[in-house]
Structure 1
Amino acid sequence: MGTDYFPNTYTGLACFLCFFFVLIRTWRRRHLYYSAFKVNGPIPFPLIGSAYVFFGHTQNILESFTRLKRKYGLFYKLWMSSDLYFVVMKLDHVKAILNNCSEKFSTMKFVDPVFGKGLLTLPATEWKIHRKLLGGTLNQQILNSYVDIFANYSNVLVEKLEGTLDAGFVDMFPIFAQCMTDVLCGTILGTDLKVMKKNGPDVILWTAKLGELSVLRIFNPLLHPDFMWKKSSLSKQTNAILHNVQRLIKKILESKRREKSYLKLEQEPNLLNYMLKLENTETTWNEEMSAEETQAFLIAGADATSLTLGYVLMMLAMHQEIQKQVFDELDFVFGGSNRNVTLEDLHQLSLLERVVKETLRIFPVAPLVGRYFTEDLVVGNFTFPKGSSAFIPILCIHRDNEIWPNPLKFDPDRFLPGETAKRHPFSFIPFSGGPRKCLGPTYGYMSMKVVLATILRHYKVVATSYREISEIEMKIDVSARCVKGQNVILHKR
């Protein structure tokens, strides 16, 4: 018996065990392979699967979904490493998935640095608890009480915009980000940060960078393992920015706890006071949960509304006749007055609301949502297998020519009541859909209408740096952003 016998034996045993492991794993996942076999999609490779189609900058991700839609249609598969994803744009499929699946896909944990471990990212079992406890914090009565706060911060924004009038093209996102940070803090957190007056902190600009880093990780399976991520420069950048965000959240919470502001919940019915009360009355709630949800509500709300406001001004700059109609509506409601917007005014601004909705159709700030199948889901003649996930590219749905004829034409009349009634209810889902849709669409519409009704009575949007919508390049982090900025020129009316 030679000295090489034992090494050869060990090598053979190791190969056999590896083969046996692969065989068992393949057998256990046979239902995934069976379903995947029925659906077209990019060819997968070992380790990375089909993720190579997304490699590069975050701008490539949205372009890839658009390109793959042209090649494979409204339903195709992607392998992200060994995880199976179905990309779904058939509206009946979208409806079934969003209505029946509450679990976010596994890589959603990679956006925890952006939104915290709150309603947006929690596993379904924990999400149900948080949703039940916090669902009433944005009811209509509370939202109505916020209108004066929206109006007051809008007036501060009008003053701030005065300084941009002689600057040529100005990127509106950083300005709106400051405004909506003030608005969110002043309403749901009951805290006046005076971000517009003090020029900081730039919470939403931090968010944009955190989102970009998180999405780069989601679409690169090589960075999914924690040990690989921690060795990367992206991880170091994430930790540095996250430290700033968490320090700000901690400062707000500690100040409110010292004030015992939750004792004034009836006089100041905001989310933060309600969570502080839960800390003292609900055994299932703790200080860490308050911090995570504060981060989620502040960042998700301010980021989405800031971006949408910038896109609205760009659309009005491109479509001067629609801007004239909006101003005529404002003139009819306000009679040439610069008084504060009231709740009664909002009910009369129907064209302005249609403008916001059409903007959200073309530029949904959450361009992609996903779900994980904890059980088989049968839709029509196809079964989405347990253990797989679904990507739902909202941007592609909102720009699909079969659903929205001439999709890059800006036409607010698409949202006249008669037109809306003709369409599938899941053809327009800027805030997602189903049980896990965003808690705050009404808050978003109300706050944006107040801001727009205020600034458009003071300023005319005379130009944007883009000639047409097709020129606007977009990239994805946790939101869809302009690669070259939301650039407009304002003139005083």
Structure 2
Amino acid sequence: MSAVLMLASYSWIGWGPFTTWTVLAVLLVVYYLMWSQSRNVRLVNTLPGPDFLPFLGNFLDLNVDLDEFLKLVHFDWVKKYGPIYRAWGGFRPVAILSSPELMEPILVSQKLITKATEYSYLSPWLGNCMFLTTGARWKNRRRLLTPAFHFQILNSFVDVFNEKSVDCARQLNRAIDIHRDAEFDVFPIMTQCALDIICETSMGRQTRSEEEKAIYVKNLHRIGQIVMERGIRPWLTFDWIYQFSALGRENQRCVTALHAFTNQVIKDRREALKREAETTSQDNNNVQEDKCDAPKERLAFLDLLIKASETNADFNDDDIREEVDTVMFAGHDTTASAMTWFLYCIAKHPEHQQMVMEEVDQVFGGDAERPCSTQDAAQLKYLECCIKETLRLYPSVPAVMRSLTEDIDIGGYTLPAGVSVALMIYGMHHSPLVYPDPDAFKPERFLPENSVGRHPYAFIPFSAGPRNCIGQKYGILEIKIVLANLMRQFRFAVADASQPMLTPSSEVVLKPKHGVPLIVSKRTTTALMA
């Protein structure tokens, strides 16, 4: 009997692993065949699209540099397969739309508001913030946060926009003195400006040290890159694999550092607000006569959230951290990118830069130092056209994605529930079917008389519909004020205007791959208002 057991054990050692792997392989093949014949897969594969491999999908096509990725999915495959096609991320299908007519049913829907699975990769950091959640929680959170972007609150941030514009101008002047008439990269300077603005308006004046903020932003940027890297690797779809991967471990280190920073900021800000309230209460009788001369109260976004938590038991410090981190993530890179691309576009097109300069000189009467008010910003119509044309060519967010919660018919195809849909904003903005001569910088496209008849979803740099960007008015006002202040003091140029336009890199936010080198000079004369 013992001899039989020994032979059996030897048999298992010799043949068991081989048998196990054979059985697993057979099971995988059977599963794949059954999966490939399922209703959802058959419906998705009625869409045109590139050939894909079992289990890997289109990974081999998509595993390229981020600028090549942008070109492939927004242009090459659109030219080959049309404005609606499909791609596979392992077992995950994505329907890709690149025309306003095809995007409209998704954008206007009150039901199809669920973020795609790919956004869940941000959940370890952002939790159940308004940006990621859906349903009743999203509606309640949006309702809670909307007052924070009321025009009266935005007006209180105008001073910050102006103050940081002055700091930005100082940095440009220092760079001019160092580089003289040579090119230098303006992207870091505009990024620092946007960072300073978002830190003060979202977290308050006394945030943390410059070194701590620099580490925070470094981790913030890396999180965005990790999400993109994870998104094209099918095997990292599974959390249990991702958590043990090098990328997953790096992500956790970034998340821990980001949470520690924001948690400390919230704690410090709570204590500061408490001290201010106590001081105000004690000195209330002594300051009544000085009220008229007192500076305007400036509430940071964080202050508003803390006040909301005091009257809403369901809104705790974790909720506050999620929303502050979301604002930092969404509001910092996007405005830095938009302002940098604007300077690049007008540097490439000096005739439009001259028209912007003439407009700001007229509005400000030749005064290069007067702060820009909301009334001034409203008068800068041509500057706004140039900003819009910049956001058409270089939308800060190149695409948005939804997960379908029900079947929907689009473009003659049935897209089944459970499929992710990518709305390719960058590609649509560059489509010759939407914009004639789409690669040219033509701000006049956005003059009122030239916008008549344009599809309402032909220009969506902030998305559209019920899930549009809650901070778009904040972003546009910030961009207009900072740029209006810079255009009164500087002139921007490129070394070789004959070179083709720079190709951006497709991260979560559209960024220049190798910076934006410009020649910056001080304006020696300023035209006076006629």
Counterpart secondary structure, 1:188: helix
Matched, 1:444 2:457: no
Matched, 1:463 2:494: yes
Matched, 1:369 2:400: yes
1:131 equivalent in structure 2: 142
Q: TM-score, normalised by structure 2?
A: 0.84
Which residue, 177, 183, 189 being the options, matches 1:175?
A: 189
Which range is displaced more, 413-422 or 350-359? 413-422
Which residue, 420, 429, 434 being the options, matches 2:465?
A: 434
Which range is displaced more, 217-226 or 300-309? 217-226
Alignment check: 8 A CA contact 2:47 2:413 kept: no
Alignment check: 8 A CA contact 1:116 1:295 kept: no
Counterpart secondary structure, 1:435: helix
Cα distance per residue 1:229-248 (max 9 Å; x no partner): 23433334333433443333
Map of 1:389-408 to 2, 5 A cutoff? 389-408=420-439
Is there any run of 5+ residues in structure 2 with no aligned partner, and where? 1-6, 281-295, 524-530
Alignment check: 8 A CA contact 1:330 1:349 kept: yes
CA distance in 2, matches of 1:218, 1:198: 31
Alignment check: 8 A CA contact 1:137 1:270 kept: no
CA distance in 1, matches of 2:496, 2:510: 18
1:357 equivalent in structure 2: 388
Map of 1:41-60 to 2, 5 A cutoff? 41-60=49-68
* CA shift for structure 1 position 227: 3.4
Map of 1:138-177 to 2, 5 A cutoff? 138-165=149-176, 166-167=178-179, 168-177=182-191
* CA shift for structure 1 position 294: 0.3
Q: In 2 relative to 1, CA 171–200 (structure 1 residues): closer, same or farther, beyond 3 Å?
A: farther
Counterpart secondary structure, 2:214: coil
Map of 1:268-287 to 2, 5 A cutoff? 268-287=298-317
Matched, 1:220 2:233: yes
* CA shift for structure 1 position 209: 2.6
2:454 equivalent in structure 1: 423
Question: What amino acid is the match of 1:219?
Answer: I
Matched, 1:251 2:264: yes
Cα distance per residue 1:195-250 (max 9 Å; x no partner): 8x889526444433321121010121122222332343333433343344333322
Which range is displaced more, 237-246 or 325-334? 237-246
Q: In 2 relative to 1, CA 491–192 (structure 1 residues): closer, same or farther, beyond 3 Å?
A: farther
Q: TM-score, normalised by structure 1?
A: 0.90
Q: In 2 relative to 1, CA 481–10 (structure 1 residues): closer, same or farther, beyond 3 Å?
A: closer
* CA shift for structure 1 position 425: 0.9
Question: What amino acid is the match of 1:227?
Answer: W
Aligned residue pairs, count: 488
CA distance in 2, matches of 1:427, 1:340: 34
2:322 equivalent in structure 1: 292
Matched, 1:64 2:72: yes
Question: What amino acid is the match of 1:32?
Answer: N
Alignment check: 8 A CA contact 2:59 2:232 kept: yes
Which residue, 333, 341, 345 being the options, matches 2:372?
A: 341
* CA shift for structure 1 position 125: 4.2
Q: In 2 relative to 1, CA 182–193 (structure 1 residues): closer, same or farther, beyond 3 Å?
A: farther
Give aligned-pair identity as a percent. Answer: 27
CA distance in 1, matches of 2:418, 2:134: 15
Alignment check: 8 A CA contact 2:207 2:265 kept: no
Alpha-carbon RMSD across the aligned residues, in angstroms, is 3.0
Question: What amino acid is the match of 1:325?
Answer: M
Which residue, 454, 465, 479 being the options, matches 2:485?
A: 454
* CA shift for structure 1 position 132: 1.7
* CA shift for structure 1 position 52: 2.3
1:105 equivalent in structure 2: 116
* CA shift for structure 1 position 472: 1.1
Matched, 1:330 2:354: no
Matched, 1:207 2:220: yes
Which range is displaced more, 322-331 or 178-187? 178-187
1:489 equivalent in structure 2: 519
Q: In 2 relative to 1, CA 20–399 (structure 1 residues): closer, same or farther, beyond 3 Å?
A: closer
Alignment check: 8 A CA contact 2:208 2:265 kept: no
Question: What amino acid is the match of 1:295?
Answer: D
Q: In 2 relative to 1, CA 449–191 (structure 1 residues): closer, same or farther, beyond 3 Å?
A: same
Alignment check: 8 A CA contact 1:182 1:193 kept: no
CA distance in 1, matches of 2:437, 2:375: 35
Q: In 2 relative to 1, CA 50–198 (structure 1 residues): closer, same or farther, beyond 3 Å?
A: closer
Counterpart secondary structure, 1:404: coil
CA distance in 2, matches of 1:426, 1:54: 28
Which residue, 91, 94, 106 being the options, matches 1:85?
A: 94
Which range is displaced more, 247-256 or 113-122? 113-122
Question: What amino acid is the match of 1:256?
Answer: R
* CA shift for structure 1 position 254: 1.1
Which range is displaced more, 282-291 or 47-56? 47-56
Cα distance per residue 1:151-199 (max 9 Å; x no partner): 112112112221100323222222112211221222233334488x889
Question: What amino acid is the match of 1:187?
Answer: T
CA distance in 2, matches of 1:425, 1:286: 39
* CA shift for structure 1 position 388: 0.9
Q: In 2 relative to 1, CA 445–23 (structure 1 residues): closer, same or farther, beyond 3 Å?
A: same
Which range is displaced more, 107-116 or 370-379? 107-116
CA distance in 2, matches of 1:251, 1:355: 40
CA distance in 1, matches of 2:25, 2:354: 73
Q: Larger radius of gyration, structure 1 or 2?
A: 2
Counterpart secondary structure, 1:485: coil
Alignment check: 8 A CA contact 2:44 2:416 kept: no
